[in-house]
């Protein structure tokens, strides 16, 4: 599946309108063909067409993609369906009639040696008929004949009414790419194309995968007898037969996608991830822009890409562009000794990819401050849970696992490592900030969603909202809210504090609540004495509402509950500083007096 998709991408890029993005063609070359023999399907000459146009002071022939030419020395060797006038027509131009006869015989022999699937093509049959019944007087009567004869010009064939040359017809091209270079070279069914073709013994190296050998590594390879089977020990490639053309195609395409300047690759931890589509699409690089680290000169590139994709989904543009046969591919590669391991691979329609990305940001959605990004980049999310917020300390396989989960679907849990690191850094630094809590919320909601699908519990846990949820009964979430309320009481009773209870007690409160909250609840009484009666009663009412469903403070909270604690703390803290509408009277609204 992966190699087939890369092979198809290669074929598309070979015909890219932009010459700078066009990939080199296997077994083909761009050749100037000054003259074309236009013939009927019965092999009768219509005209000798001059393709040359004036370029400066010189006439230049039209460029065509033709089968790769043979390197010629002093011997006789004919190209397939194109060559000089002597080879094609057997007309002597240099006073060497015997050699010219040999050249023409070699040209005809190449046609007759084609496999039946190509030899039966109407174009080949027309060319053979033309050559067998060559009408030289009709040729000499053509206006362009004298110039072609004088220059022994290169020429080829085209059926009258066709846009392509005969050598560009599908059956002929397929045969040209699958002809063995040696007569004794065995043919096998290619696992990529399904065609009988010469097998590539050693595949070209894939370069650009972070952490792999600088000289490149392979996806398909056999380097020991233990990996070989069915007695195929002499030619390594026969264990996984891939034709020479298909091997060239997928390796060329993958190296193109992995190039350091490629706009369709990102590096997330140890996962070198590439994105491409079956057909040209304006959203082909969207995923790379969304998940990749934004450049310094365009820090909002990822946010703009998200907005463009979501806007297209909302307006129905994605549906209009979503062809039934256009798929988007996401491939994650990681180094593994001398080989490359496939970390993940997803193949989705455009609307499916958009929905997965929308679900990802919906999981992350959280009430935020004015300077917090609405669509945080994956790099920022990963750096936020790394020690000292440094990219070097990001767990190597975390980013790739997150992207894998994103495109696997909204019911697939994020890696537990993401939740563990987000909770651990919040506890270690006593700072459950926006990025860490967003990661915690995303992980918890996916766990809840997955559990609700597999559990028979009639009352599954409620997913967490982006903002404070007064109706959420979870004890750990409410203890986080309680801790935020106690911190707020301390801050208002002693303005200008350099440190609050969060700096001293957050880690212990979120992991061993019983050891902390009894002390904090006792201390808050002395703080409340400094308030007015109305303000004191308001805080007492708030604490009572928070503790309504909390029956006891546990000795220890497991790590997922520590995440719920962080989320409750963050929600309550943000709610204290969120401006409320004048007509609202929630339990957490500050006393106007």
What average pLDDT score do residues 144-172 get? 92
Tokens of residue 547, six digits: 């503790």
pLDDT at 225: 64
CB 23 within 8 A of CB 256: yes
What average pLDDT score do residues 430-437 get? 94
Query: 402-423: per-residue pLDDT in tens?
Result: 999 999 988 899 999 999 999 9
Instruction: Say yes or no to pLDDT of 429 above 50.
Output: yes
Pick from 79-88, 346-355, 391-400, 455-464 the range whose average pLDDT is largest: 79-88
Instruction: Say yes or no to pLDDT of 42 above 70.
Output: yes
pTM of the model: 0.76
Kindly report the average pLDDT of the chain as a whole number.
87
Instruction: Say yes or no to pLDDT of 65 above 80.
Output: yes
Q: Which residue has the higher pLDDT, 35 or 307?
A: 35
pLDDT at 285: 84
Query: 191-218: per-residue pLDDT in tens?
Result: 898 888 888 877 888 888 888 887 788 8
Query: 297-351: per-residue pLDDT in tens?
Result: 778 888 888 888 888 777 766 655 555 678 899 999 988 867 889 999 999 988 8
From residue 590, alpha-carbon distances to 468, 494, 567, 575 in Å are 15, 17, 21, 10
Q: Which residue has the higher pLDDT, 507 or 286?
A: 507
Tokens 């146009």, residue located:
53
Tokens of residue 40, six digits: 């009927």
Query: 91-121: per-residue pLDDT in tens?
Result: 999 899 999 999 999 999 989 988 888 889 9
pLDDT at 183: 52
In whole angstroms, give the CA distance from residue 528 to residue 449.
41
In whole angstroms, give the CA distance from residue 307 to residue 290.
10
What average pLDDT score do residues 483-509 get? 92
Instruction: Say yes or no to pLDDT of 231 above 70.
Output: no
Phi-psi region of 43 (alpha: psi -120 to 50; beta: other; left: phi over 0): left
CB 411 within 8 A of CB 547: no
The alpha carbon of residue 486 and the mean position of all alpha carbons in its chain are separated, in whole angstroms, by 47
Given pLDDT bands bounded at 50, 70 and 90, which one contains residue 3?
very high
């Amino acid at each position: 599946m992966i190699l087939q998709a890369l092979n198809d991408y290669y074929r598309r890029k070979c015909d890219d309108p932009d010459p700078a993005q066009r990939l080199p063609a296997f077994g083909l070359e761009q050749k100037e063909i000054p003259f074309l023999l236009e013939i009927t399907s019965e092999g009768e000459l219509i005209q000798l067409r001059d393709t040359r146009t004036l370029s400066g002071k010189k006439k230049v022939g039209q460029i065509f993609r033709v089968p790769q030419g043979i390197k010629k020395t002093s011997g006789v060797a004919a190209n397939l369906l194109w060559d000089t006038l002597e080879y094609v027509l057997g007309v002597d131009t240099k006073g060497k009639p015997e050699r010219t006869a040999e050249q023409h015989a070699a040209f005809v022999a190449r046609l007759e040696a084609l496999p039946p699937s190509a030899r039966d093509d109407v174009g080949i049959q027309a060319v053979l008929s033309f050559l067998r019944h060559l009408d030289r007087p009709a040729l000499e009567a053509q206006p362009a004949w004298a110039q072609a004869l004088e220059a022994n010009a290169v020429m080829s064939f085209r059926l009258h009414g066709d846009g392509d040359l005969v050598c560009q017809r599908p059956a002929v091209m397929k045969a040209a790419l699958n002809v063995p270079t040696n007569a004794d070279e065995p043919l096998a069914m290619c696992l990529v194309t399904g065609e009988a073709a010469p097998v590539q013994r050693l595949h070209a190296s894939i370069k650009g995968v972070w952490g792999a050998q600088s000289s490149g590594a392979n996806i398909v390879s056999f380097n020991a007898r233990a990996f070989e089977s069915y007695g195929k020990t002499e030619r390594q490639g026969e264990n996984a037969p891939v034709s020479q053309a298909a091997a060239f195609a997928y390796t060329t395409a993958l190296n193109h996608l992995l190039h350091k300047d490629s706009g369709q690759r990102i590096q997330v931890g140890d996962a070198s991830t590439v994105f491409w589509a079956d057909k040209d699409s304006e959203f082909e690089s969207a995923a790379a822009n969304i998940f990749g680290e934004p450049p310094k000169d365009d820090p909002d590139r990822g946010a703009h890409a998200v907005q463009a994709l979501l806007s297209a989904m909302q307006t129905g543009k994605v549906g209009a562009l979503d062809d039934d046969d256009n798929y988007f591919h996401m491939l994650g590669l990681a180094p593994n000794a001398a080989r490359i391991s496939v970390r993940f691979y997803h193949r989705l329609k455009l609307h499916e990819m958009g929905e997965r990305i929308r679900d990802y940001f919906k999981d992350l959605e959280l009430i935020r401050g004015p300077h917090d990004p609405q669509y945080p980049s994956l790099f920022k999310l990963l750096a936020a849970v790394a020690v000292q917020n440094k990219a070097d300390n990001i767990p190597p396989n975390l980013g790739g696992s997150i992207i894998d989960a994103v495109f696997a679907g909204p019911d697939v849990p994020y890696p537990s490592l993401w939740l563990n690191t987000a909770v651990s850094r919040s506890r270690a630094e006593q700072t459950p900030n926006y990025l860490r809590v967003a990661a915690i919320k995303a992980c918890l909601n996916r766990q809840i969603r997955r559990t609700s699908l597999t559990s028979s519990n009639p009352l599954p846990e409620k997913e967490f909202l982006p903002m404070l949820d007064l109706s959420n009964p979870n004890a750990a979430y409410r203890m986080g809210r309680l801790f935020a309320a106690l911190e707020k009481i301390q801050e208002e009773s002693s303005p200008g504090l350099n440190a609050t209870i969060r700096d001293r007690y957050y880690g212990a409160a979120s992991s061993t609540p019983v050891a902390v909250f009894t002390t904090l609840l006792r201390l808050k009484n002395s703080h409340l004495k400094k308030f007015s009666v109305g303000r004191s009663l308001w805080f007492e009412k708030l604490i009572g509402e928070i503790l309504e469903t909390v029956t006891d403070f546990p000795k220890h909270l497991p790590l997922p509950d520590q995440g719920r604690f962080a989320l409750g703390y963050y929600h309550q803290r943000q709610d204290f500083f969120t401006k409320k509408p004048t007509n609202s009277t929630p339990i957490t609204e500050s006393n106007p007096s």
